[in-house]
Structure 1
């Protein structure tokens, strides 16, 4: 089974026969112990440190179908190397573009993304409400915002409601979390530990969705909720909205309440707070457990992972665009 590999340290990546050789290199130029990764076991690479590689290596990765995702010091996604697109189809491109261009059809899909995300947020809140966390006020407020979703006729209006839902939802984090406070959403840069985890987790979800979209006929640059001009792969932002409450927020609640990530796992400066390498590794370990966790799919009748679930969500959107089946967003049942 192919899996994701995370490169946290700077170094050199090269081809060694049919394996990938990663040689860690310190800031002083000292080389560490090389690590060898069989190429047939790699689905993609996440690079958080500076990576030295040449075109020979990328030709090798391209032929092996391996994507590489890059992130800067501040944990911002900066770009990806993808093998040659092999599934894009003209019919799908036309269908996707026409749904974006026609306001009514675009709004149907955009409203679905927001309603799916809101449902999964309330699912999280109900879980903690049943465990004596007083998040009833946030639940009630979100439900009133949700009632407005079907009434929207413009994307900016819908985005305003989505923003209100998420702001209200984040107010509950200070109630759910034991020893950490969020104190409102802050980003670029995050101001505290909770915001640092949200930013890092949201970036991981965006990149995961982008990788799954690549394996479908969808074009990741044509979106419906987010405007295509602002981010290159804006469809990944759309799909990520549905899965952030399930993947990111539940991971955050776990790692903080179970003390799997602690204050020592963050680097702080005057105006920012970021995960340090140890913190990133701790988060990614739980993240991998989460996205590879399986459950019995209610329609398929077989076990699927959350990672595969994102691809299934893309297939559902594909069927909607081709007029085969109405798109209904994934809503968590547990």
Structure 2
């Protein structure tokens, strides 16, 4: 089974015969080599300062291996994607047609928001059942969820989702037993450890969805809830929206409440009045994130165990079936 590799070391990533090697800087005259069995590599996350060349990129392309790059602060800066082999002109036309039709685009956008709100409530009810006082926030989000079908356009829908998430973030103080209230979501840069965790977690999920989209025939630049952009694969944002509460937020709550990540895992960003998750914190996050994506559930329709990572790909396939007029798309909703 293919695996994801996370590289935090500095050095050179190179090909030797049919194997990838990470060569660390010389120590007492000798450099260390760490082999990566290429047959088992799905994608690579590059967090360290690494040198590589076009010979390596050609090799990654031949092996259909994606590489995601991050800067010193753990911010996503871009991806290397091999030449796409699984392409379909017919599906591309259908994707564009669905985007250009205001009613069809709005239907898909509503489904993404429905899935997101369902999982917001799913998390809140879980903690309410553990004696957290969240009834008022739950009531607010339930009322907003009931209005999704009445939203007349994408901006109104985005506004509704924003209000739901603002209400949801108010629950973080209670769920995480924070000494000071978590007031609002701040992104560029994150202004406190909780915002830094959310930003890093959302980025990791975005790249995971992007890897899964790559193996389908979908074009990741054509989206329905988020506006297509020249600087991002916005369809990955659409699909990630459904899974953020289920994967990212649950992981944040667990890591924080179990004291696996604490204040010592954050550092200030120069003079920008922001904070970022340091290398030790990122290592803890990606280890637990990978465990989460590898965890399996019994799928109701398929009647077999599937991993969380597989659920991301299945969601993309559901969108393909919708665009091909096989089955209307309904966003994923966890049943466990």
The interval holding the TM-score normalised by the smaller chain is: over 0.9
Q: What is aligned with 1:39?
A: 38
TM-score, normalisation: structure 2: 0.96
Q: What is aligned with 1:332?
A: 334
Shift of 1:71: 1.4
Shift of 1:16: 1.6
Give the distance between the partners of 2:325 and 2:163, measured in 1 at CA: 32
Shift of 1:178: 2.5
Q: What is aligned with 2:15?
A: 15
Deviation string, structure 1 residues 214-256 (Cα, Å, up to 9, x no partner): 1111100000000002643000000000010011000001100
The 5 Å alignment of 1:256-295 reads: 256-269=256-269, 271-295=273-297
Which structure 1 residue ranges, 5 or more long, are not aligned?
none
Give the distance between the partners of 2:86 and 2:3, measured in 1 at CA: 21
In 1, are the aligned partners of 2:73 and 2:278 still within 8 Å (CA)? Answer: no
Give the distance between the partners of 1:74 and 1:158, measured in 2 at CA: 32
Give the distance between the partners of 2:158 and 2:199, measured in 1 at CA: 19
Deviation string, structure 1 residues 281-308 (Cα, Å, up to 9, x no partner): 0011110110110010011100000000
In 2, are the aligned partners of 1:9 and 1:24 still within 8 Å (CA)? Answer: yes
Deviation string, structure 1 residues 21-57 (Cα, Å, up to 9, x no partner): 112339x999752211111111100011222100100
Deviation beyond 6 Å, 4+ runs, structure 1: 28-31
Give the distance between the partners of 1:228 and 1:48, measured in 2 at CA: 27
Which SS does the other structure have where 1:246 is aligned? helix
Shift of 1:268: 2.3
Shift of 1:183: 3.0
Distance 1:29 1:154, change over 3 A: farther
Give the distance between the partners of 1:10 and 1:166, measured in 2 at CA: 38
Q: Is 2:197 the counterpart of 1:213? A: no
Distance 1:31 1:152, change over 3 A: farther
User: Superposition RMSD on alpha carbons, in Å?
Assistant: 1.7
Q: How many aligned residue pairs are there?
A: 333
Give the distance between the partners of 2:205 and 2:189, measured in 1 at CA: 18
Which SS does the other structure have where 2:252 is aligned? helix
Give the distance between the partners of 1:247 and 1:122, measured in 2 at CA: 14
Give the distance between the partners of 2:257 and 2:117, measured in 1 at CA: 23
The 5 Å alignment of 1:96-115 reads: 96-115=95-114
In 2, are the aligned partners of 1:13 and 1:51 still within 8 Å (CA)? Answer: yes
The 5 Å alignment of 1:125-274 reads: 125-179=124-178, 181=180, 182-229=182-229, 231-269=231-269, 271-274=273-276
Give the distance between the partners of 2:60 and 2:31, measured in 1 at CA: 23
Q: Is 2:123 the counterpart of 1:121? A: no
Shift of 1:139: 0.5
Give the distance between the partners of 1:301 and 1:105, measured in 2 at CA: 31
In 1, are the aligned partners of 2:242 and 2:332 still within 8 Å (CA)? Answer: yes
Shift of 1:18: 1.7
Q: Is 2:308 the counterpart of 1:306? A: yes
Shift of 1:2: 1.2
Give the distance between the partners of 2:134 and 2:54, measured in 1 at CA: 53
TM-score, normalisation: structure 1: 0.96
